């Protein structure tokens, strides 16, 4: 390899998932030449093995559950889901795992795509090993943005790889419904995939090490989702760990720490995520391979003025929308610094500081019922030292909820900061609440005073009237 082979750009982005794409979009829009390196498919985990396929699998499940709760309609939707049609729609939605559309989009914004594995080779240098084994050196005049995302983390169980367990990749791309599926884990991926595959015809057993589901949310979220999953026919075992797992004549055999033996056709480990940083040359710039990359609010890696880490890889909030938000900010910060501006996040609009990451992250769990939350839970707010009070509302008391579904079941919590009289967090659980959470995000991120919230009048008869009930409950 000679120096003449090095190609210079203003910005080099490693990883063309949703986050890398958005960094490139912003730097290109600012007139900076940008190369983007991708080792698999442009569009990343989200498009092919995460958000898109999982939501395509869940949409008919949720729509059918909603329809079954509407008098006059429920009789027409009592049958099973058409699993082959659902899987075929999922395949369409993931563009059959082809990235032509997204490659075209990259071309449209004028970013240069390099197919292959990108590795740092010292400050501002990235070596790309292409599919043909050929190496190219890219040099960044201003910034390298690491957007390599995360992968499923498997537990350390002897012989696990040999039994070909499902991770989120297989759970979102499987072409057949397994007869029996064991799901290990109680977080978002576990409950969403348990919901989808149970409704598609699998008999699901959920093994959860902790006390309940969705441990990062208010406790009632996990309780309501657990109740519904059980009603749907899934078996839920909490306080249960996997001791060993083998495959005998094709059948998965799980032995739990209680000594129980469970047989299944497939086993999904939804047991967390690990950063994709083990082989990206971090050691060449003094960082530890395999680690999450800590960043400041402009997404710059601590101690490196040219290196950014954006999206899952920095471990701030492992969500596409939050990663894309960071990407917009990182892109703006790179452009500002390239043009000599300070970009220290001091502008009133905070264009270069990802402040929402700290206390206003929204998340929707696409189960039946849906669970949606933004900001801090009561426990988190107390831990952070805020003096807060939580008010709860039974969603069945809201007129719009009664219209939405017969026998509507759900709950809402608003966590109010008693010093500043603003909302620190909101959690909503119930059918249809996913589309409501943005109202709470505006209240939390905007730090809207409770006294003003009374003047944000929700339409009648919508589930949004929960806001009135929450304010009334707070006023007492």
Ligand X SMILES: Cc1cc2nc3c(=O)[nH]c(=O)nc-3n(C[C@H](O)[C@H](O)[C@H](O)COP(=O)(O)OP(=O)(O)OC[C@H]3O[C@@H](n4cnc5c(N)ncnc54)[C@H](O)[C@@H]3O)c2cc1C
**Shortest separation between residue 256's beta carbon and ligand X, angstroms:** 24
Q: How far from the centroid of its chain's Cα atoms is residue 422's Cα? A: 26
Phi, psi of 244 (to 5 degrees): -155, 155
CA dist 135 to 1, 96, 113, 138, Å? 8, 29, 14, 10
Which residues lie near ligand X (CB under 6 A)? 14-20, 37-40, 44-46, 50-51, 54-55, 117-118, 147-150, 168, 172, 189, 276, 280, 311-313, 318-321, 323
In angstroms, give the least distance from the CB of 397 to ligand X: 29
State the Cα angle at 428 between 423 and 432, rounded to 5°: 135
Q: Least distance from C-beta 229 to ligand X, angstroms?
A: 17
In sequence order, the 6+-apart residues with CB closer than 8 A to the CB of 332 are 26, 30, 343, 351, 352
Nearer to ligand X, 366 or 408 (CB): 366
Of residues 183 and 388, the one with the C-beta less far from ligand X:
183
Q: Minimum distance between the CB of residue 46 and ligand X, rounded to whole angstroms?
A: 3
Strand pairing partners for 267?
182
Residue 98 beta carbon to ligand X: minimum distance, rounded to whole angstroms: 14
118 vs 410, beta carbon nearer ligand X: 118
Q: Is the CB of 54 or the CB of 139 nearer to ligand X?
A: 54
Secondary structure class of 8 (helix, strand, coil): strand
Residue number, 37 or 398, with CB nearest to ligand X: 37
Shorter beta-carbon distance to ligand X: residue 37 or 376: 37
The span from the CA of 308 to the CA of 25, in Å, is: 15
Shortest distance, CB of residue 131 to ligand X, whole angstroms?
12
- Residue-wise DSSP of 193-243: HHHHHHHTT-EEEEE-SSSSS-TTS-HHHHHHHHHHHHHTT-EEE-S--EE
What residues have CB less than 8 Å from 459, skipping those under 6 apart?
Answer: 465
| Of residues 40 and 382, the one with the C-beta less far from ligand X | 40
Q: CB of residue 129 vs ligand X: minimum separation in angstroms? A: 9
Rounded distance, CA 388 to CA 412, Å? Answer: 16
């Amino acid at each position: 390899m000679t120096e003449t082979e090095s190609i210079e750009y203003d910005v080099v982005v490693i990883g063309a998932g949703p986050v890398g794409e958005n960094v490139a979009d912003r730097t290109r829009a600012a007139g900076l030449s940008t190369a983007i390196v991708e080792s698999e498919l442009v569009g990343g985990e989200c498009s092919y093995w995460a958000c898109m396929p999982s939501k395509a699998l869940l949409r008919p499940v949720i729509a059918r559950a909603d329809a079954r709760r509407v008098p006059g309609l429920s009789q027409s939707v009592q049958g099973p889901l058409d699993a082959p049609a659902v899987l075929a729609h999922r395949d369409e939605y993931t563009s059959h795992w082809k990235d032509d559309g997204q490659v075209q989009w990259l071309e449209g914004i004028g970013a240069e795509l390099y197919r292959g594995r990108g590795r740092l080779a010292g400050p501002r240098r990235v070596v790309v090993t292409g599919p043909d084994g050929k190496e190219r050196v890219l040099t960044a005049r201003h910034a390298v943005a690491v957007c390599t995302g995360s992968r499923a983390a498997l537990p350390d169980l002897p012989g696990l790889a040999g039994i070909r367990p499902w991770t989120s990749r297989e759970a979102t791309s499987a072409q057949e419904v397994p007869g029996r599926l064991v799901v290990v884990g109680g977080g978002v991926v576990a409950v969403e995939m348990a919901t989808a595959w149970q409704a598609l015809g699998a008999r699901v057993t959920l093994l959860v090490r902790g006390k309940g589901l969705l441990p990062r949310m208010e406790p009632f979220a996990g309780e309501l989702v657990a109740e519904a999953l059980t009603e749907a026919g899934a078996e839920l075992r909490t306080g249960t760990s996997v001791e060993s797992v083998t495959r005998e004549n094709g059948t998965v055999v799980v032995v739990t720490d209680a000594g129980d033996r469970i047989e299944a056709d497939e086993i999904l480990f939804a047991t967390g995520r690990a950063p994709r940083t083990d082989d990206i040359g971090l050691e060449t710039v003094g960082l530890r391979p395999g680690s999450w990359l800590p960043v400041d609010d402009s997404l710059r890696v601590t101690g490196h003025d040219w290196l950014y880490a954006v999206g899952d890889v920095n471990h701030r909030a492992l969500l596409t929308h939050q990663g894309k938000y960071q990407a917009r900010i990182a892109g703006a910060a790179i452009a500002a610094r390239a043009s000599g501006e300070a970009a220290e996040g001091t502008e009133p609009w905070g264009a270069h500081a990802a402040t929402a990451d700290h206390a206003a992250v929204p998340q929707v769990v696409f189960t039946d019922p849906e669970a949606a939350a933004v900001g801090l839970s009561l426990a988190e707010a107390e831990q952070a030292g805020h003096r807060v009070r939580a008010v709860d509302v039974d969603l069945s008391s809201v007129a719009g909820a009664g219209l939405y579904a017969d026998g509507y079941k759900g709950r809402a919590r608003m966590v109010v900061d008693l010093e500043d009289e603003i909302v620190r967090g909101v959690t909503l659980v119930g059918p249809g609440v996913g589309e409501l959470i943005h109202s709470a995000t505006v209240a939390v991120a905007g730090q809207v005073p409770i006294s003003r919230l009374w003047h944000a009048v929700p339409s009648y008869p919508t589930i949004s009237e929960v806001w009135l009930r929450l304010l009334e409950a707070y006023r007492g």
